[in-house]
Structure 1
Amino acid sequence: MVLGRFFGRDPLKEPARALYESVVLQARQPMFYDRCGVPDSVDGRFDLIVLHAFLVMNRLKKEPQRSSNLSQALFDLLFMDMDLSLREMGVGDVGVGTRIKTMVQAFYGRISAYESGLKEGDAALKAALERNLFGTTEASPAQLDAIAVYAKTVAAELAGQDMEQLLQGHVVFPALPEDLPGSGTAA
Protein backbone atom coordinates (compact mmCIF):
# COMPACT_ATOMS: atom_id res chain seq x y z
CA MET A 1 0.00 0.00 0.00
CA VAL A 2 2.85 2.40 0.79
CA LEU A 3 4.47 1.55 -2.55
CA GLY A 4 1.14 2.11 -4.28
CA ARG A 5 0.96 5.60 -2.80
CA PHE A 6 4.62 6.25 -3.64
CA PHE A 7 4.10 5.32 -7.28
CA GLY A 8 0.78 7.15 -7.51
CA ARG A 9 -1.62 4.22 -7.35
CA ASP A 10 -3.56 4.19 -4.11
CA PRO A 11 -5.90 1.19 -3.90
CA LEU A 12 -8.05 3.01 -1.33
CA LYS A 13 -8.62 6.10 -3.45
CA GLU A 14 -11.61 4.83 -5.42
CA PRO A 15 -13.41 3.03 -2.56
CA ALA A 16 -12.94 6.08 -0.30
CA ARG A 17 -14.19 8.40 -3.04
CA ALA A 18 -17.24 6.21 -3.67
CA LEU A 19 -18.06 6.11 0.05
CA TYR A 20 -17.60 9.86 0.38
CA GLU A 21 -19.78 10.60 -2.64
CA SER A 22 -22.51 8.38 -1.16
CA VAL A 23 -22.22 10.17 2.19
CA VAL A 24 -22.50 13.61 0.56
CA LEU A 25 -25.38 12.56 -1.69
CA GLN A 26 -27.31 11.24 1.30
CA ALA A 27 -26.54 14.34 3.39
CA ARG A 28 -27.90 16.55 0.60
CA GLN A 29 -31.36 14.99 0.65
CA PRO A 30 -33.82 17.93 0.89
CA MET A 31 -35.92 16.11 3.48
CA PHE A 32 -33.31 16.80 6.17
CA TYR A 33 -33.63 20.53 5.63
CA ASP A 34 -37.25 20.89 4.52
CA ARG A 35 -38.95 18.47 6.87
CA CYS A 36 -36.55 17.72 9.69
CA GLY A 37 -35.41 21.28 10.36
CA VAL A 38 -31.66 20.87 9.89
CA PRO A 39 -30.30 24.33 9.10
CA ASP A 40 -29.67 24.71 5.36
CA SER A 41 -26.35 26.43 5.97
CA VAL A 42 -22.65 25.66 5.76
CA ASP A 43 -22.78 24.40 9.36
CA GLY A 44 -25.91 22.32 8.84
CA ARG A 45 -24.54 20.71 5.68
CA PHE A 46 -21.19 20.01 7.37
CA ASP A 47 -22.97 18.42 10.31
CA LEU A 48 -25.08 16.16 8.09
CA ILE A 49 -21.96 15.02 6.24
CA VAL A 50 -20.26 14.35 9.58
CA LEU A 51 -23.27 12.36 10.83
CA HIS A 52 -23.31 10.17 7.72
CA ALA A 53 -19.51 9.79 7.65
CA PHE A 54 -19.68 8.75 11.30
CA LEU A 55 -22.33 6.14 10.55
CA VAL A 56 -20.19 4.64 7.77
CA MET A 57 -16.99 4.78 9.82
CA ASN A 58 -18.77 3.30 12.80
CA ARG A 59 -19.67 0.30 10.64
CA LEU A 60 -16.15 0.03 9.25
CA LYS A 61 -14.62 -0.03 12.70
CA LYS A 62 -16.45 -3.28 13.50
CA GLU A 63 -13.62 -4.98 11.57
CA PRO A 64 -10.69 -2.60 12.12
CA GLN A 65 -8.00 -4.95 10.85
CA ARG A 66 -9.66 -4.87 7.43
CA SER A 67 -11.07 -1.38 7.30
CA SER A 68 -9.02 1.10 9.35
CA ASN A 69 -7.04 2.29 6.32
CA LEU A 70 -10.24 2.84 4.33
CA SER A 71 -11.77 4.70 7.23
CA GLN A 72 -8.68 6.94 7.38
CA ALA A 73 -8.84 7.50 3.62
CA LEU A 74 -12.51 8.51 3.96
CA PHE A 75 -11.59 10.96 6.74
CA ASP A 76 -8.73 12.39 4.66
CA LEU A 77 -10.97 12.85 1.63
CA LEU A 78 -13.68 14.53 3.72
CA PHE A 79 -11.24 17.15 4.98
CA MET A 80 -9.55 17.63 1.61
CA ASP A 81 -13.01 18.41 0.25
CA MET A 82 -13.73 20.78 3.16
CA ASP A 83 -10.40 22.52 2.47
CA LEU A 84 -11.29 22.93 -1.21
CA SER A 85 -14.80 24.16 -0.35
CA LEU A 86 -13.45 26.81 2.01
CA ARG A 87 -11.01 28.00 -0.65
CA GLU A 88 -13.83 28.18 -3.22
CA MET A 89 -15.82 30.28 -0.73
CA GLY A 90 -12.92 32.73 -0.66
CA VAL A 91 -11.29 31.87 2.65
CA GLY A 92 -7.56 32.70 2.43
CA ASP A 93 -4.71 30.25 3.01
CA VAL A 94 -4.16 31.27 6.63
CA GLY A 95 -7.87 31.14 7.40
CA VAL A 96 -8.34 27.74 5.77
CA GLY A 97 -5.83 26.06 8.07
CA THR A 98 -7.46 27.51 11.15
CA ARG A 99 -10.98 26.61 9.99
CA ILE A 100 -9.96 23.04 9.05
CA LYS A 101 -8.35 22.56 12.47
CA THR A 102 -11.59 23.71 14.10
CA MET A 103 -13.64 21.41 11.83
CA VAL A 104 -11.43 18.41 12.65
CA GLN A 105 -11.87 19.07 16.37
CA ALA A 106 -15.63 19.38 15.85
CA PHE A 107 -15.61 16.13 13.87
CA TYR A 108 -13.93 14.21 16.69
CA GLY A 109 -16.26 15.72 19.27
CA ARG A 110 -19.31 14.75 17.24
CA ILE A 111 -17.99 11.23 16.62
CA SER A 112 -17.55 10.73 20.35
CA ALA A 113 -21.01 12.14 21.11
CA TYR A 114 -22.73 10.04 18.42
CA GLU A 115 -20.92 6.87 19.51
CA SER A 116 -22.02 7.45 23.08
CA GLY A 117 -25.52 8.29 21.93
CA LEU A 118 -25.91 5.03 20.01
CA LYS A 119 -24.57 3.04 22.98
CA GLU A 120 -26.41 4.87 25.76
CA GLY A 121 -29.83 5.16 24.14
CA ASP A 122 -32.36 7.66 22.90
CA ALA A 123 -31.82 10.44 25.43
CA ALA A 124 -28.06 10.55 24.85
CA LEU A 125 -28.42 10.34 21.07
CA LYS A 126 -31.03 13.10 20.98
CA ALA A 127 -28.85 15.30 23.19
CA ALA A 128 -25.88 14.78 20.86
CA LEU A 129 -27.97 15.54 17.78
CA GLU A 130 -29.58 18.59 19.35
CA ARG A 131 -26.21 19.98 20.44
CA ASN A 132 -24.45 19.33 17.14
CA LEU A 133 -26.77 18.89 14.18
CA PHE A 134 -29.22 21.50 15.43
CA GLY A 135 -26.62 23.64 17.22
CA THR A 136 -27.54 26.85 15.42
CA THR A 137 -31.31 26.40 15.53
CA GLU A 138 -33.98 24.85 17.70
CA ALA A 139 -35.53 21.60 16.52
CA SER A 140 -38.99 20.59 17.59
CA PRO A 141 -39.20 17.44 19.69
CA ALA A 142 -40.76 15.64 16.72
CA GLN A 143 -37.92 16.71 14.40
CA LEU A 144 -35.33 15.60 16.94
CA ASP A 145 -37.16 12.27 17.28
CA ALA A 146 -37.19 11.90 13.49
CA ILE A 147 -33.43 12.40 13.13
CA ALA A 148 -32.69 10.09 16.08
CA VAL A 149 -34.88 7.35 14.57
CA TYR A 150 -33.19 7.89 11.23
CA ALA A 151 -29.66 7.66 12.73
CA LYS A 152 -30.50 4.44 14.58
CA THR A 153 -32.10 2.98 11.46
CA VAL A 154 -29.05 3.80 9.34
CA ALA A 155 -26.70 2.33 11.96
CA ALA A 156 -28.76 -0.89 12.05
CA GLU A 157 -28.95 -1.11 8.24
CA LEU A 158 -25.22 -0.51 7.85
CA ALA A 159 -24.47 -3.18 10.46
CA GLY A 160 -26.10 -5.70 8.14
CA GLN A 161 -24.26 -4.61 5.01
CA ASP A 162 -21.55 -6.86 3.63
CA MET A 163 -18.06 -5.70 4.65
CA GLU A 164 -16.62 -6.75 1.29
CA GLN A 165 -19.04 -4.40 -0.45
CA LEU A 166 -18.16 -1.57 1.92
CA LEU A 167 -14.43 -2.16 1.37
CA GLN A 168 -15.07 -1.76 -2.34
CA GLY A 169 -16.84 1.56 -1.70
CA HIS A 170 -20.42 0.36 -2.00
CA VAL A 171 -22.67 1.65 0.76
CA VAL A 172 -26.45 1.62 0.69
CA PHE A 173 -28.30 4.05 2.89
CA PRO A 174 -31.88 3.11 3.68
CA ALA A 175 -34.61 4.93 1.83
CA LEU A 176 -35.81 8.03 3.57
CA PRO A 177 -39.24 7.32 5.02
CA GLU A 178 -42.04 9.53 3.79
CA ASP A 179 -43.82 9.42 7.12
CA LEU A 180 -41.05 10.43 9.52
CA PRO A 181 -42.34 11.68 12.82
CA GLY A 182 -42.07 15.43 12.81
CA SER A 183 -41.98 15.66 9.05
CA GLY A 184 -44.45 18.51 9.06
CA THR A 185 -43.44 22.13 9.48
CA ALA A 186 -39.85 23.13 10.21
CA ALA A 187 -38.91 24.61 13.55
Structure 2
Amino acid sequence: MLESLRRRRQNRQVVDRLWDEVVARARRPKRFLEGGLPDTVFGRFESLSIEVFLLLRRCGADASLSALSQDLVDRFMTDLDHSMRELGVGYLAVPKRMRKLAGRFYARVALYEPAVSGRDVAALAKALRETAFVDAPGGDADRAEALAAQILAADLDYRHMKSEAILAGSLNGEQQESSP
Protein backbone atom coordinates (compact mmCIF):
# COMPACT_ATOMS: atom_id res chain seq x y z
CA MET A 1 0.00 0.00 0.00
CA LEU A 2 2.77 2.46 0.88
CA GLU A 3 4.57 1.59 -2.35
CA SER A 4 1.41 2.36 -4.31
CA LEU A 5 1.07 5.73 -2.60
CA ARG A 6 4.72 6.52 -3.29
CA ARG A 7 4.32 5.64 -7.00
CA ARG A 8 1.20 7.81 -7.29
CA ARG A 9 3.01 10.72 -5.64
CA GLN A 10 5.99 10.32 -7.99
CA ASN A 11 3.67 10.10 -10.99
CA ARG A 12 1.86 13.27 -9.87
CA GLN A 13 5.23 15.02 -9.56
CA VAL A 14 6.20 13.91 -13.07
CA VAL A 15 2.88 15.12 -14.49
CA ASP A 16 3.22 18.43 -12.63
CA ARG A 17 6.75 18.99 -13.99
CA LEU A 18 5.62 18.13 -17.51
CA TRP A 19 2.60 20.38 -17.14
CA ASP A 20 4.77 23.30 -16.07
CA GLU A 21 6.89 22.83 -19.19
CA VAL A 22 3.82 22.51 -21.44
CA VAL A 23 2.44 25.77 -20.04
CA ALA A 24 5.80 27.52 -20.51
CA ARG A 25 5.96 26.35 -24.12
CA ALA A 26 2.37 27.48 -24.74
CA ARG A 27 3.20 30.93 -23.39
CA ARG A 28 6.16 31.54 -25.68
CA PRO A 29 5.68 35.01 -27.17
CA LYS A 30 6.50 33.80 -30.70
CA ARG A 31 3.17 31.97 -30.93
CA PHE A 32 1.34 35.22 -30.25
CA LEU A 33 3.61 37.75 -31.96
CA GLU A 34 4.47 35.79 -35.11
CA GLY A 35 1.73 33.17 -35.05
CA GLY A 36 -1.08 35.68 -34.73
CA LEU A 37 -2.90 34.26 -31.72
CA PRO A 38 -4.33 37.01 -29.52
CA ASP A 39 -2.87 37.32 -26.03
CA THR A 40 -6.28 36.81 -24.43
CA VAL A 41 -7.92 34.08 -22.38
CA PHE A 42 -9.17 32.41 -25.56
CA GLY A 43 -5.84 32.83 -27.34
CA ARG A 44 -4.05 31.23 -24.41
CA PHE A 45 -6.54 28.35 -24.44
CA GLU A 46 -5.77 27.84 -28.14
CA SER A 47 -2.03 27.89 -27.53
CA LEU A 48 -2.30 25.49 -24.60
CA SER A 49 -4.55 23.19 -26.63
CA ILE A 50 -1.96 23.12 -29.41
CA GLU A 51 0.82 22.25 -26.98
CA VAL A 52 -1.22 19.51 -25.25
CA PHE A 53 -2.17 18.09 -28.65
CA LEU A 54 1.49 17.91 -29.69
CA LEU A 55 2.56 16.21 -26.47
CA LEU A 56 -0.30 13.72 -26.73
CA ARG A 57 0.83 12.93 -30.30
CA ARG A 58 4.29 12.19 -28.92
CA CYS A 59 2.87 10.02 -26.16
CA GLY A 60 0.77 8.14 -28.72
CA ALA A 61 3.92 7.18 -30.60
CA ASP A 62 5.23 5.14 -27.65
CA ALA A 63 3.18 2.61 -25.70
CA SER A 64 5.23 3.27 -22.56
CA LEU A 65 3.78 6.80 -22.49
CA SER A 66 0.10 5.86 -22.86
CA ALA A 67 -0.77 5.98 -19.14
CA LEU A 68 1.05 9.29 -18.85
CA SER A 69 -0.97 10.76 -21.71
CA GLN A 70 -4.24 10.20 -19.83
CA ASP A 71 -2.75 11.82 -16.72
CA LEU A 72 -1.76 14.82 -18.85
CA VAL A 73 -5.29 15.16 -20.27
CA ASP A 74 -6.65 14.99 -16.72
CA ARG A 75 -4.18 17.68 -15.63
CA PHE A 76 -5.19 19.85 -18.60
CA MET A 77 -8.87 19.59 -17.70
CA THR A 78 -8.15 20.25 -14.02
CA ASP A 79 -6.17 23.34 -14.97
CA LEU A 80 -9.01 24.60 -17.16
CA ASP A 81 -11.47 24.03 -14.32
CA HIS A 82 -9.30 25.97 -11.86
CA SER A 83 -8.75 28.78 -14.36
CA MET A 84 -12.48 29.20 -14.92
CA ARG A 85 -13.10 29.39 -11.20
CA GLU A 86 -10.33 31.99 -10.84
CA LEU A 87 -11.94 34.01 -13.63
CA GLY A 88 -15.16 34.06 -11.62
CA VAL A 89 -17.26 31.53 -13.53
CA GLY A 90 -20.04 30.43 -11.21
CA TYR A 91 -19.83 27.06 -9.50
CA LEU A 92 -22.89 25.69 -11.31
CA ALA A 93 -21.73 26.92 -14.73
CA VAL A 94 -18.27 25.33 -14.59
CA PRO A 95 -19.31 21.78 -15.62
CA LYS A 96 -21.20 23.06 -18.67
CA ARG A 97 -18.28 25.22 -19.74
CA MET A 98 -15.85 22.37 -19.14
CA ARG A 99 -17.85 20.15 -21.50
CA LYS A 100 -17.77 22.92 -24.09
CA LEU A 101 -13.99 23.45 -23.75
CA ALA A 102 -13.30 19.71 -23.82
CA GLY A 103 -15.42 19.48 -26.97
CA ARG A 104 -13.43 22.30 -28.54
CA PHE A 105 -10.17 20.61 -27.67
CA TYR A 106 -11.16 17.24 -29.13
CA ALA A 107 -12.59 18.91 -32.25
CA ARG A 108 -9.20 20.57 -32.75
CA VAL A 109 -7.39 17.27 -32.29
CA ALA A 110 -9.59 15.73 -34.99
CA LEU A 111 -8.91 18.63 -37.39
CA TYR A 112 -5.22 19.11 -36.69
CA GLU A 113 -4.16 15.46 -36.63
CA PRO A 114 -4.37 14.71 -40.37
CA ALA A 115 -2.65 17.97 -41.30
CA VAL A 116 0.16 17.48 -38.79
CA SER A 117 0.58 13.82 -39.72
CA GLY A 118 0.81 14.79 -43.38
CA ARG A 119 3.07 17.76 -42.59
CA ASP A 120 0.62 19.90 -44.61
CA VAL A 121 1.08 23.58 -43.73
CA ALA A 122 -1.83 24.74 -45.93
CA ALA A 123 -4.30 22.22 -44.44
CA LEU A 124 -3.20 23.05 -40.91
CA ALA A 125 -3.46 26.80 -41.58
CA LYS A 126 -7.00 26.25 -42.91
CA ALA A 127 -7.93 24.26 -39.79
CA LEU A 128 -6.46 27.00 -37.57
CA ARG A 129 -8.47 29.68 -39.39
CA GLU A 130 -11.64 27.62 -38.82
CA THR A 131 -10.98 27.02 -35.13
CA ALA A 132 -8.34 28.98 -33.27
CA PHE A 133 -8.85 32.25 -35.08
CA VAL A 134 -12.66 32.04 -34.95
CA ASP A 135 -12.87 31.11 -31.28
CA ALA A 136 -10.13 33.54 -30.18
CA PRO A 137 -11.33 36.90 -31.54
CA GLY A 138 -8.68 39.52 -32.06
CA GLY A 139 -6.15 37.20 -33.61
CA ASP A 140 -4.49 37.74 -36.94
CA ALA A 141 -5.78 34.94 -39.19
CA ASP A 142 -3.43 36.16 -41.94
CA ARG A 143 -0.64 34.64 -39.86
CA ALA A 144 -2.21 31.16 -39.85
CA GLU A 145 0.54 29.80 -42.12
CA ALA A 146 3.20 31.07 -39.75
CA LEU A 147 1.41 29.45 -36.81
CA ALA A 148 1.03 26.22 -38.80
CA ALA A 149 4.76 26.21 -39.54
CA GLN A 150 5.49 26.77 -35.83
CA ILE A 151 3.24 23.84 -34.92
CA LEU A 152 4.94 21.52 -37.40
CA ALA A 153 8.37 22.56 -36.07
CA ALA A 154 7.20 21.94 -32.50
CA ASP A 155 5.86 18.54 -33.55
CA LEU A 156 9.33 17.61 -34.83
CA ASP A 157 10.79 18.80 -31.55
CA TYR A 158 8.39 16.56 -29.61
CA ARG A 159 9.13 13.60 -31.88
CA HIS A 160 12.84 13.84 -31.01
CA MET A 161 12.23 13.81 -27.26
CA LYS A 162 13.38 10.69 -25.48
CA SER A 163 10.64 8.66 -23.82
CA GLU A 164 12.81 8.13 -20.74
CA ALA A 165 13.15 11.87 -20.24
CA ILE A 166 9.40 12.40 -20.65
CA LEU A 167 8.70 9.62 -18.14
CA ALA A 168 11.11 11.37 -15.77
CA GLY A 169 9.18 14.63 -16.14
CA SER A 170 11.23 16.58 -18.67
CA LEU A 171 10.53 17.87 -22.16
CA ASN A 172 14.04 19.26 -22.42
CA GLY A 173 15.75 15.88 -22.53
CA GLU A 174 17.08 16.18 -19.01
CA GLN A 175 16.06 13.52 -16.55
CA GLN A 176 15.16 15.00 -13.22
CA GLU A 177 15.77 13.51 -9.84
CA SER A 178 12.63 12.36 -8.09
CA SER A 179 12.30 13.16 -4.45
CA PRO A 180 11.76 10.31 -1.98
TM-score by length of 1: 0.82
Aligned position for 1:19: 18
What displacement does 1:31 show? 2.6
What displacement does 1:138 show? 5.4
What displacement does 1:8 show? 8.6
Aligned position for 1:181: none
Percent of paired sites with the same residue? 30
What displacement does 1:9 show? 3.3
Q: Is 1:144 matched with 2:173?
A: no
- Indicate the SS of the match to 1:123: helix
In the aligned structure 1, how far is the partner of 2:8 from the partner of 2:127? 39
Q: Is 1:114 matched with 2:112?
A: yes
Aligned position for 2:48: 49
The 4+ residue runs of structure 1 with deviation greater than 6 A are none
Aligned position for 2:132: 133
In the aligned structure 2, how far is the partner of 1:12 from the partner of 1:128? 34
In the aligned structure 2, how far is the partner of 1:49 from the partner of 1:58? 14
Q: Which runs of 5+ in 1 are unaligned?
A: 174-187
Q: Is contact 1:15–1:70 with CA below 8 Å preserved after alignment?
A: no
What displacement does 1:133 show? 2.2
What displacement does 1:144 show? 1.6
What displacement does 1:132 show? 2.1
Q: Partner amino acid for 1:159?
A: R
Q: Which runs of 5+ in 2 are unaligned?
A: 174-180
TM-score by length of 2: 0.85
Aligned position for 1:62: 61
What displacement does 1:140 show? 4.9
Aligned position for 1:80: 78
Aligned Cα root-mean-square deviation (Å): 2.2
Q: Is contact 1:158–1:172 with CA below 8 Å preserved after alignment?
A: no
In the aligned structure 1, how far is the partner of 2:85 from the partner of 2:28? 24
What displacement does 1:4 show? 2.8
Q: Partner amino acid for 1:95?
A: A
Q: Partner amino acid for 1:139?
A: D
In the aligned structure 2, how far is the partner of 1:4 from the partner of 1:49? 31
Q: Is contact 1:57–1:71 with CA below 8 Å preserved after alignment?
A: yes
- Indicate the SS of the match to 2:80: helix
Q: Is contact 1:38–1:134 with CA below 8 Å preserved after alignment?
A: yes
Question: As a proportion of its length, which structure holds more helix?
Answer: 2
In the aligned structure 2, how far is the partner of 1:162 from the partner of 1:87? 35
Per-residue CA distance 1:41-89 (angstroms, 9 max, x = gap): 111100100100111110111013x111111111111111111111111
